[in-house]
Amino acid sequence: MGLMDKAKNAVDEAAGKAKETVGKLTDNERLEAEGKAEQTRADAKQTGEDVKDVFKG
């Protein structure tokens, strides 16, 4: 996996966490759910890339 992919996944996960936190603080369930979903997508991408790396090596 390229360094840029890892960085993008980390940024996406951090953005999701921030959105989730803001949603909790403002009692905005939709924003909180969007943040959780963004984190899940970033985690899934990271896992997929990790699996690819295992089979490359």
Two tokens, residue 36:
């959780």
Handedness of CA 52, 57, 2, 47 (dihedral sign): positive
Q: What is the CA radius of gyration of the chain?
A: 13
pLDDT band at 1 (very low <50, low <70, confident <90, very high): low
pLDDT band at 2 (very low <50, low <70, confident <90, very high): confident
The residue-averaged pLDDT of 19-44 equals 97
In percent, the amount of the chain with pLDDT more than 70 equals 96
3-state per-residue secondary structure call for 7-45: HHHHHHHHHHHHHHHHHHHCCCHHHHHHHHHHHHHHHHH
